[in-house]
Amino acid sequence: MSIRRLSSEESQALYSLLRAEQRPFHEILSQFNSSFPSSRHFTLSSYLLILLQDIKVLTTAERLIAFSLLVEAYSSQKPASNPFISFVVNASCDEGSEKVERAFILQLLGFDSSNSGKEFLKQSASDYVKGFDESLHEFPPLDQMKQQFSDKVHLEPYHCLLKDGTVKSVVPDPDVPPSCDADSLEFDVRPGTKTKYGAGDKEEAVVGLLSNLSLEGLNPHWIRPLPPRLPILDGELVWLNPDDNHELMWDYGMCVDTSRGAAVRDLIAKALKGALAPAQQEQVLVELANDPKLVYHCGLTPRKLPELVENNPLIAVDVLTKLIKSPEISEYFTVLVNMDMSLHSMEVVNRLTTAVELPSQFIHMYITNCIASCVSIKVLHFTLLP
C-alpha cells in the first residue's frame, strides 16, 4: 500500500475523470482501473476523500463520480477490505447532503429499493442528476443502515487526517459572499467580459490541492532521544563554550594625574645610562625629599637597579632608603647582593647599613659573595702571571 503523494500527471488524470460529467460511469470506472495500478488505489482514494470533505470543492456531478471511484477502487475485494467504507456509509445517511448524492451512494452499496442493479452506471453523472426523482428512493436512517451493513463489514468511525487540524486545506474566498452559488451561470466567463469575483480557475485550484497535499497529516513528529555521546579520544579537539558573563572591574588608574613625577622619571631614565650632573642629582634628591611617594612612580624596577648603582650610587642609596617599607624591597636586596662586586656597590651597601637597619641575612650573604669574588680575583691574578 503506497502513500506516496500524487504527481502532477496523476493529479491531472484523476481530475479529468472527475470532470467527465457527460461520460457514463462504467467508462470512467474502466479508465480508472486501466490508468492507475492497484498499488496506487489507496493513495488516490485518500485524496478523493479529502476532496469530498468539503462540499464546495467539487460539483454535485463530480462528487458522484468521486464516490463511484471510492467504491470501485476496492470492488474486486470484500467490503471489509475497503478502508473507506465507513465514510461512504455515513455519507449515505448525512441529512446535510443532497438527496441525489445519498441515493447514488445507496445504489453503489446495493441498498436501493429499486431493482435496477448496476444499470444506473450506464448513465452519465450529468444525466443522473437531471433525471433524479426523489420519490423513487428511500433513505434509511443511519442506525438502520449500520444495522443492515454490519452483517457484511465491521464499521469503525472514520477520522480524517485534516479534520481536526487547525489549518484547513480549503478556505473560502473572502471576496465571495457565503450565500453565493459558485455553480451559478452568473460566474461563467463570456468572451469580451471581465472575470468576476468567484469565477477563478477552479480546475487549477483542485489540481494544485491534489499535487501539494500530503497524507502525513499536520501532527508534529515525535522527538527522538539524543544518541549517546561517543568517548573523547586522545588528542581530539573538544568544543568549548566559554562563559560570556564578564564582571565589571573598577579601573583605579582612571583619571589619575599621570604628569606627577615626570621630571624625576626623566632624570632616573638618564641616570640608568650614565652619571648625572651635580645639579641634576640635587634635583632628584630634592624631589624625592619633598614627595617620598614619587619613588613608586620614578620607573625604577629591581632589574634596572644594577645600572643605577654603577652610574649614580648616591641616587641609588636614596631610592632604596625610601623603598625600605615597600613589599618589593626584598627583590631589590636580592639583586643588589647578586650583582658583580664593585666600589659603587660596596659604597651603596655601606651607606645603607648606616642609614637604615638591614636584615642580617642580607648582610651575611653580601659578605659571603664579596669573599667569593675576592678569591676568584686572586686566583685569576695568579693564573695570569708568566
| Residue 229 included in any domain | no
Main-chain dihedrals φ then ψ at residue 214, nearest 5 degrees: -110, 140
Residue type, 373: S
| 234 within some domain | no
> Has residue 23 been placed in a domain?
yes
Same domain membership, residue 307 and residue 206: no
28, 71 Cβ separation under 8 angstroms: no
- Structural domains counted in the chain: 2
Tell me which H or E stretch contains 101: helix 99-109
Do 163 and 273 belong to one domain? no
**Measured between alpha carbons, how far is 186 from 172 in angstroms, rounded to an integer?**
18
* Same domain flag for 155 and 275: no
Q: pTM of the predicted model, to two decimals?
A: 0.49
> Is 134 a member of any domain?
yes
- Residue 192 belongs to a domain: no
Q: Are residues 293 and 372 in the same domain?
A: yes
Residue 23's domain comprises: 8-173+202-212
Instruction: Collect the ranges in the chain with pLDDT lower than 50.
Output: 1-2, 158, 160-167, 197-198, 380-386
Nearest to 344 by CA among 310, 374, 303, 318: 310
85 domain residue, yes or no: yes
Asked if 276 and 364 sit in the same domain, the reply is yes
pLDDT of residue 75: 82
Residues 100 and 208 in one domain: yes
32 and 166 inside one domain: yes
**167/315 same-domain check:** no
Q: Are residues 32 and 147 part of one domain?
A: yes
Question: Same domain, yes or no, for 167 and 297?
Answer: no
pLDDT digits (tens, 9 = 90+) for 262-320: 888 888 888 888 888 889 888 888 888 888 888 888 888 888 888 988 888 888 888 88
Note whether 29 and 128 are same-domain residues. yes
The grid coordinates listed for 342 are 664593585
Other beta carbons less than 10 A from residue 345's beta carbon: 21
Q: Are residues 38 and 159 in the same domain?
A: yes
Residue 185, in any domain of the structure: no
| Grid coordinates of 368 | 659571603
In a domain, residue 290? The reply is: yes
Burial of residue 336 (CB within 10 Å: 0-12, 13-18, 19+) is: buried
Can you tell me whether residue 24 is helix, strand or coil?
A: strand
